[in-house]
Amino acid sequence: KNEVEQSPQNLTAQEGEFITINCSYSVGISALHWLQQHPGGGIVSLFMLSSGKKKHGRLIATINIQEKHSSLHITASHPRDSAVYICAVARPGTASKLTFGTGTRLQVTL
Amino acid sequence: EPEVTQTPSHQVTQMGQEVILRCVPISNHLYFYWYRQILGQKVEFLVSFYNNEISEKSEIFDDQFSVERPDGSNFTLKIRSTKLEDSAMYFCASNERRNTEAFFGQGTRLTVV
C-alpha cells in the first residue's frame, strides 16, 4: 500500500469550476507539500503545511493531522491550471526527503 | 527569484556509459536531493545530501550511483554504467533548512539506448 494516496487520479473540469484534490497518508509526517508538475515535466512548489490552512491566490490547501488528510482547492479554475498536482510528505527525522503520491492529472476546459 | 538549475535538460546515452547530471542549488540552501521519475510513474527519492555527506539514500541508490558537491555550488549525480531502466526524468531539489519549502530544478530527461 502506498504511504501517500491521492484522489481522483484524473479530473476534468470546466473553466470556472471549484476543484478539490484529496491526499491521504498513512505515516507520521513533519510536513505535507503540494506540488504542481507542468506538461514539460518541471515541478513547482505550491504549499508546505504542517497544520491548518494556507491560501495563495486561487489556491487553498488544508490539512487535518488527526485524520491524516489534506485537500487542495482551486477556485474559479482556468485552463492554465491544467497540470498534474502532487501531494508529498516529509517524515520526521528524515532530513526532509519527500515521499510522493501518484499525482492528480487536472484538465480544465473552456 | 532564485532557482535550482539543472543541466543538461535532455541527455541520450548508450547503455553501459557513464553520465553526470549537474545541478546548481539555491546558494544559501543546505539540504540537497536527487529524485527520479520514470515515465508514467510517481516521483521517487534517490538520495539526500547535507553537510558534504549523504544523509539518506533509497534502495534504488545502489553502487552505480554517486553524488558529489565538488566546489560548493554544483551538486552532481553520477551514474556509472547506465542501464535501460535508468531512463527517467531526474530532479534535483534543495531546501534552505529542514522542513522548509522544497525548490526543484526543471529536470534532466535521461534516455538510455
Taking 90 as the threshold, does the pLDDT of residue B98 lie above it?
A: no
A1-60 confidence digits (pLDDT tens) = 789 999 999 999 999 999 999 999 999 999 999 999 998 889 999 999 999 999 999 999
pLDDT reading at B93 higher than 70: yes
DSSP annotation string for chain A: --SEEEE-SEEEEETT--EEEEEEE-S--SEEEEEEE-TTS-EEEEEEESSEEEEETTEEEEEETTTTEEEEEESS--GGG-EEEEEEEE-TTSTT-EEE---EEEEEE-
| Closest Cα in chain B, distance from residue A36 (Å) | 11
Chosen from A91, A98, A105 to mutate, greatest number of chain B CBs within 10 A? A98
Instruction: Nearest by CB to B101, from A41, A48, A97: name it.
Output: A48
pLDDT of B73 strictly over 90: no
* Nearest CA distance, B80 vs chain A (angstrom): 24
Query: Given this model, what pLDDT does residue A95 score?
Result: 67
Please tell me the number of Cα atoms within 13 Å of A63 on its side-chain side: 20
A44 interfaces chain B, CB cutoff of 8 Å:
yes
Residue B112, pLDDT > 70, answer: yes
| pLDDT mean over B73-84 | 96
Query: Chain-wide mean pLDDT for chain B?
Result: 95
CB spacing of A95 vs B50 below 8 angstroms = yes
CB-based contact (8 Å) between A109 and chain B? Answer: no
pLDDT at A62 over 70: yes
Beta-carbon separation of B56 and A94 below 8 A: yes
What percent of chain B is modeled with pLDDT above 90? 88
Q: Answer whether A95 sits within 8 Å of B48, measured CB to CB.
A: yes
Is the pLDDT reported for residue B70 higher than 90?
no
Residue A89, chain B, CB below 8 Å: the answer is: no
